Structure 1
């Protein structure tokens, strides 16, 4: 088996999933965390649940000092970044003083703007784009649940990518390489948009959003706008690990709502069911930032650059940010897709 030494920024759901699985296969992993979390991880270790099986790692290498982590005795192959997209700028400021000591960065973040930011600061050949399609639940510090294992995508445009794919595959991951980063990241953006902003705005689970005619119409329209932007950028849709994005987007482009709705309710709603998505969870946690800025907001920004109209993405982005920042009450659209659709129609007049 190939060897890989990894420094993970944080031990959240994705960091613990990747780092924990690598540790179980004998790779070297160090977690960088806040002091209080670092102490808890040292004491509790890491437990990974999957179905009826659980794997526990009792001894973890955890530090709260980046300088210590990057000391001369530690040589890492990869720096794993899986923080929220709204934390990227602050992370770059933290990493910048150690620019010359940093290994290549593997970004597994949501959105399409993180890797370009990292490249602009740390160099074009120092950043590897990736994506995780597995659904990972975070129970508490040092404990995660693999809710639905799908896989990992890695862009092949950096020389370390092949080794990374080999080691991840040997560690039990379903890994797929992609010649270019943009198709992979934009295709993941589409899956991140589906039943995300609408669920947060409406305070409704994915299955309910897809089952209501008004909110289903909004779901289809927002993805059509994203596809129009991708067309303008000449970025193709690609399938992701265990995630058939191409057939999904073909249906959204080609089939009428009355055919699509029962299909989406069955295939997407059944898979996501009553599990609330990330934008809702951040809203419920009282966070004053939201990744909608880097999902629907990114579609709006690239739409402006390419001259493609994205009014629904603008409306969903603006509405959710208004709720997050308490400019409008959280219950404005609660369980009311008809009002959301009506207000969108007023918005575009």
Structure 2
């Protein structure tokens, strides 16, 4: 019998800030723990909701994790013991399904898999409920497959068709092991429906919007923040701002950085890394955030809005859930420099209408408290129903 979790009502509020649930034995399966990004922030919040939970992962680098994660009991699969696993873990991707299935989770009542790499394929007790929080179906298997293959080295490019064909079969088969699917955006809900043929509830990831504040001093310079990698499309920003001559600050590191620096005009400044206070100031003083990627959710636009600044974004992906066109920002239609230039011209005309208070109000819809309440409610409904959804 699947345990019915207690109601996330007043008794949970009294128990602690996050409304913690402590009755069931909980396991959280996360794909790999080698750096602090959006998925790891979700894991932190899950650990706050389920403080006694055990964490399972393929590869674990404690030195690169937050204190909240290091304090937890973390168990790795045997992938962690393979040569250079912490650095080259992605080369072991074909072995991860087998490694997941060797984890013994028979003693847990609730299993939450945090899926972006292989995580949901664990074998649980028939009495347990398995909820998958999907950041994205593995994009390198599905819609980004051809991009990844094109950029791979010759050996990997030759091996990928056979290996990834098998992994797609496993990915679909393992999705049937999940009782409840939760997606981090409407965009990911559609991808779950397309690739796994499953329905999913949307619960947006937590963004600590209280960490960001507006500024009375706003610069003329636009801001771009992210990794300098192909799918983030920093090249669009460089090409468009080369054309317009508008000032732009680009913050981020990655394989494309050196090439972009060579092609950028004097109006574009690159900073590989900012500390948190510097990033907060960059957000708050920016004329606007330029967001060129098609992201699963996109935390950066929410952080910009929390800083009281508008967003000009490519109008696809998770940003459709966060940016309100005509109120907190605008969209451009195509991932091309021409479309971005057109968007910048419209953005400049629209800026006098922008109200920073509306952007801050919108950003607060993605606060950690919203995530807590919705996740607790989803778990309570799922475990009470005791059936796949």
- Structure with larger Rg: 2
| TM-score between the two structures when normalised by the length of structure 1 | 0.35
